[in-house]
C-alpha cells in the first residue's frame, strides 16, 4: 500500500498527526487567535476563487518549475517559518531542512526555532532562508545576521506583522508554557503519544536557543509570549532601512497586506513582498490574504510570495493565478512530520505536486505563467 493510497490529501496527514501529537502541542500548531474567524476566512475565500477548465489541448505534462529571485525551482513552493518546530515534532528543523535540500526548494528557519542556525544551516542546501523577528539591540541584530550568513542562510525574511504578542486563547487554554515544560497535566497527554515522547527524550524539551544565547533573563512570561519578546521590537521604516544597509543578500518583507505598504517597500529597497496574515494567528479582524493579494500584486513590480490557508495544490494554483510568484506553507509540513516523521514532509510536497499536475491538466495549462488566464471573470 502506497502513501498516496493511505494519505491522499494533507487533511489525512493532519488527522493522523493529531492522534500522534500531545493535545497541548496540537493546540499550539493548529490554533489561531480570537474566535479564529480569520483562519476560517482564509479557507472560505480561497474556495471563492474559481478557475475555468479548458478543453482539447491534447496530451501534455505540466511544467511546474519557476524562477524566483534569480533561482530556478522545480515547484513554486517553499517551507515557511514556524516557531518552535522542535516542539511540534522532535528534530523538525533539521528534518525540514533536509527535505528542502533534497527537493531543491527553500526552507525558512525561524528566529524562534528550537535549534540554532549553526545546527540547521548545513542541512538546508543552497536555498536556506532565515526569518527575522527584529531585535531591539542593533548589536544583537547584526550578530544574528552574521551567524545566519555564516551558517549558509542566503535570504532574509523580515516579519512585520507581529508588532505585539497576540492572545491565542486556544493555545493558552491548552496549557503550553514558555519555556515548555511537562507539568503533570501535560505529561499525561505526552504519555499518550509515545512516538513524540520518545523523540523528546532524545532531543530534550525544546527551547528558543538563539534568543537564549543573548539573554540570561529567564523571567516568567505569559503563556502566549516567549523570551524573544524581551528582546525584540516593533520595527518602523527606519529599522527596515538600517536592516537593508547591513544585509547584503535578498531581503523579503513578510506580513504585507496593504498596497501602499507594498509600493513603499518597492521604493525602499525590498527584494520581494510576502503577503501573509500569519495564518490568522495574530489578528482576527482582517481580510483573507487571497483577498489582499491582487491589490498588493498591482502595487509592486517585485516578486510576491503568498501564504495563509493553503491546503492543497489547487490552492497553490489559485494564489498563482491571482498574482503570486511563489507560495509558502508551514502547518502542512508539520502535519506531515506529525503523521509520518521525516518522510511525511516529502509526502506533503508530493501531494501538492500531484494535485497541481492533475488540476493543470483539467485547466489545459501547460505552464504556471498561463494560470491568470484561467481565472473566471464575473460580470
Active site residues: 278
3-state secondary structure of 139: helix
Asked if residue 294 lies in contact with residue 22, where contact means CB atoms within 8 angstroms, the answer is: no
Q: CA-to-CA distance for 288 and 286, rounded, in angstroms?
A: 7
The candidate with the shortest Cα–Cα distance to 226, out of 240, 237, 212, is 212
Residues contacting residue 326 through CB under 8 Å, at least 6 positions apart = 66, 68, 73, 76, 77, 78, 303, 304, 305, 306
Kind and range of the H or E run holding 86: helix 85-88
Q: CA-to-CA distance for 197 and 189, rounded, in angstroms?
A: 10
Determine if residue 121 is left, alpha or beta; phi over 0 gives left, psi from -120 to 50 gives alpha, anything else beta. Answer: alpha
Within the chain, strands assigned E span: 66-68, 71-73, 77-79, 107-109, 128-132, 155-159, 251-256, 272-275, 304-306, 326-329
Amino acid at each position: 500500500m502506497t502513501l498516496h493510497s493511505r494519505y491522499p490529501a494533507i487533511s489525512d496527514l493532519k488527522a493522523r498527526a493529531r492522534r500522534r501529537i500531545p493535545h497541548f502541542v496540537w493546540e499550539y500548531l493548529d490554533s489561531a487567535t480570537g474566535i479564529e474567524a480569520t483562519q476560517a476566512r482564509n479557507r472560505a475565500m480561497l474556495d471563492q476563487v474559481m478557475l475555468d477548465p479548458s478543453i482539447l489541448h491534447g496530451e501534455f505534462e505540466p511544467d511546474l518549475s519557476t524562477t524566483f529571485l534569480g533561482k530556478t525551482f522545480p515547484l513554486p513552493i517553499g517551507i515557511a517559518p514556524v516557531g518552535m518546530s522542535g516542539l511540534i515534532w522532535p528534530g523538525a528543523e533539521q528534518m525540514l531542512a533536509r527535505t528542502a535540500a533534497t527537493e531543491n526548494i527553500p526552507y525558512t528557519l525561524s528566529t524562534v526555532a528550537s535549534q540554532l542556525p549553526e545546527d540547521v544551516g548545513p542541512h538546508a542546501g543552497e536555498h536556506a532562508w532565515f526569518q527575522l523577528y527584529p531585535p531591539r539591540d542593533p548589536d544583537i541584530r547584526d550578530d544574528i545576521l552574521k551567524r545566519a550568513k555564516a551558517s549558509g542562510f542566503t535570504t532574509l525574511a523580515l516579519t512585520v506583522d507581529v508588532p505585539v504578542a497576540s492572545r491565542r486563547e486556544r493555545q493558552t487554554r491548552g496549557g503550553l508554557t514558555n519555556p515548555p515544560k511537562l507539568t503533570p497535566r501535560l505529561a499525561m497527554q505526552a504519555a499518550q503519544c509515545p512516538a513524540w515522547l520518545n523523540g523528546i527524550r532524545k532531543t530534550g524539551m525544546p527551547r528558543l536557543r538563539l534568543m537564549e544565547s543573548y539573554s540570561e533573563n529567564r523571567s516568567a512570561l505569559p503563556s502566549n509570549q516567549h523570551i524573544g519578546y524581551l528582546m525584540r521590537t516593533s520595527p518602523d521604516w527606519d529599522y527596515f532601512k538600517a536592516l537593508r544597509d547591513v544585509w547584503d543578500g535578498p531581503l523579503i518583507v513578510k506580513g504585507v497586506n496593504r498596497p501602499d505598504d507594498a509600493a513603499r517597500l518597492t521604493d525602499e529597497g525590498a527584494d520581494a513582498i510576502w503577503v501573509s496574515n500569519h495564518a490568522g494567528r495574530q489578528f482576527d479582524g482582517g481580510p483573507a490574504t487571497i483577498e489582499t493579494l491582487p491589490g498588493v500584486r498591482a502595487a509592486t513590480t517585485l516578486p510576491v510570495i503568498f501564504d495563509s490557508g493553503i491546503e492543497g495544490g489547487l490552492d497553490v494554483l489559485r494564489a498563482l493565478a491571482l498574482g503570486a510568484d511563489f507560495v509558502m506553507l508551514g502547518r502542512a509540513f508539520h502535519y506531515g512530520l506529525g503523521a509520518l516523521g521525516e518522510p511525511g514532509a516529502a509526502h506533503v510536497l508530493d501531494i501538492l505536486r500531484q494535485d497541481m499536475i492533475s488540476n493543470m491538466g483539467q485547466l489545459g495549462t501547460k505552464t504556471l505563467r498561463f494560470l491568470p488566464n484561467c481565472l473566471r471573470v464575473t460580470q
